[in-house]
C-alpha cells in the first residue's frame, strides 16, 4: 500500500517510519510536515493510506481532509484522545495515540488490509464507469461572477495552475478549483490526453504535430497555446496514434 506520513514533528515521522518498516504491505512514498504539503502530495501521488496527525500549524488534520478531492484511507496519529469521536465522523479507519505502540500499529494495519479486501475490483470499476465524463457531457463552470454550461467536446485544453485548472473553450479561459490530476481521472481518455505535467489536450482540436527537441512533440491546437509534450507522453502518444 502506498503510504504517506503527515506530522509536523520530524521525530514523530521518523519513529513511525521505523515502525512501519516491519510491515511488508506498506510502501512509504513520502512525508509532509503540514497540510499544504500533504494536499499536494496526496493529489499527485494518490496514496492508499495516510497516517495523519491532527494538531499541526496552520490547518489541522480535519481541515486538511475537508480540502481534498481525492480522499485516501486515513489512520489518525495524535497525542490527544479527545478527538477520537470526531475522527471516526471523518470515516477514519483507526485512531492511534502517540507514542505509537507496535502491537496497536499492527492492529491498525490489519484493519486497513481488511478494508481493502472488501473493496472488490468490480465495485471499483463500477464507480469508475459512473464518474467518467465523455465529450458529450456538459459541465457547469463558474469563474467569479461569470458562469457557463460547457460541452466537454468544446474544451480544447486544460492547463494546471497549482490546485486550479484553466479551461480553454470558445474565447474563454476560466479557472476552476479542481486539480489537473482530479480532472484526468474523470475524463474519457479516448478524447482527452495528458500531454505533460501541466496540460491535458482534447485530441479533436489538434491542428498539427511537429517533432521537437529530444524526441518530444510540439502540438498546435485550434485557438489555444502550442503545447510541448513531455518526452514520456510523446512516446505514449506515438504508440497511441501508431506514428
Give which of 104, 73, 56, 229 is closest to 157, Cα–Cα: 229
pLDDT value at position 131?
Answer: 60
Q: For cell 484526468, name the residue.
A: 184
The residue written with cell numbers 505502540 in the block is: 101
Same structural domain, 77 and 170:
no
Amino acid 120: pLDDT = 55
Residue 132 maps to a domain = no
Instruction: Clarify whether residues 100 and 203 are in a common domain.
Output: no
Cβ–Cβ contacts within 10 Å for residue 98, how many?
Answer: 15
Domain count, the chain: 2
Same domain, residue pair 203 and 160: yes
Q: Kindly give the confidence (pLDDT) of every residue in the chain, 243 residues in length, as a single tens digit, with 9 standing for 90 and above.
A: 999 999 999 999 999 999 999 999 999 999 999 999 999 999 889 899 999 999 999 889 988 887 776 778 899 998 887 877 777 767 788 999 999 999 999 999 999 888 887 765 555 555 555 467 778 888 888 888 888 889 999 999 999 988 899 999 999 999 998 889 888 988 988 899 999 989 999 999 999 999 988 889 999 999 888 999 998 899 999 888 876
| Confidence at residue 129, expressed as pLDDT on a 0 to 100 scale | 54
**This prediction's pTM:** 0.52
Residue 180 domain-assigned (yes or no): yes
Give alpha helix (H) positions in 46-203.
Answer: 61-66, 84-89, 102-118, 121-131, 180-186
- Residue among 93, 98, 104 nearest 71 (CA): 93
User: Tell me, what's the pLDDT at 121?
Assistant: 57
SS3 label, residue 161: strand
171: domain CATH number? Answer: 2.40.50.1020
In a domain? residue 79: yes
In a domain, 126, yes or no: no
Residues 107 and 9 in one domain: yes
What CATH number did the domain enclosing 23 receive?
A: 3.40.50.2300
Range of the domain at 142: 138-241
The answer to whether residues 85 and 178 belong to one domain is no
Q: What's the sign of the alpha-carbon dihedral 47, 73, 105, 108?
A: negative
pLDDT value of residue 242: 75
pLDDT at 162: 83
User: Are residue 89 and residue 170 in the same domain, yes or no?
Assistant: no
Report the pLDDT value the prediction gives residue 124, as an integer from 0 to 100: 56
Count CB atoms within 10 A of the CB of residue 149: 8
Amino acid at each position: 500500500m502506498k503510504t504517506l506520513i503527515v506530522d509536523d514533528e520530524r521525530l514523530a515521522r521518523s519513529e513511525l517510519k521505523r515502525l512501519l518498516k516491519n510491515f511488508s504491505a506498506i510502501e512509504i512514498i513520502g512525508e509532509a510536515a503540514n497540510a499544504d504539503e500533504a494536499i499536494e502530495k496526496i493529489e499527485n501521488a494518490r496514496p492508499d493510506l495516510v497516517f495523519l496527525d491532527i494538531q499541526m500549524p496552520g490547518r489541522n488534520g480535519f481541515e486538511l481532509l475537508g480540502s481534498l478531492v481525492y480522499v485516501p484511507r486515513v489512520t489518525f496519529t495524535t497525542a490527544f484522545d479527545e478527538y477520537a469521536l470526531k475522527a471516526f465522523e471523518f470515516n477514519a479507519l483507526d485512531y492511534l495515540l502517540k507514542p505509537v505502540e507496535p502491537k496497536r500499529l499492527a492492529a491498525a494495519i490489519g484493519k486497513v488490509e481488511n478494508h481493502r479486501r472488501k473493496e472488490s475490483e468490480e465495485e471499483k470499476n463500477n464507480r469508475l464507469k459512473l464518474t467518467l465524463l465523455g465529450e458529450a457531457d456538459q459541465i457547469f463552470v463558474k469563474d467569479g461572477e461569470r458562469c457557463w454550461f460547457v460541452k466537454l467536446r468544446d474544451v480544447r485544453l486544460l492547463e494546471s495552475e497549482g490546485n486550479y485548472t484553466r479551461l480553454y473553450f470558445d474565447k474563454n479561459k476560466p479557472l476552476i478549483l479542481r486539480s489537473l490530476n482530479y480532472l484526468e481521472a474523470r475524463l474519457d481518455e479516448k478524447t482527452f490526453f495528458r500531454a505533460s505535467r501541466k496540460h491535458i489536450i482534447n485530441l479533436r482540436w489538434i491542428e498539427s504535430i511537429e517533432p521537437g527537441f529530444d524526441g518530444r512533440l510540439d502540438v498546435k491546437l485550434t485557438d489555444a497555446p502550442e503545447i510541448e509534450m513531455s518526452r514520456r507522453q510523446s512516446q505514449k502518444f506515438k504508440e497511441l496514434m501508431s506514428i
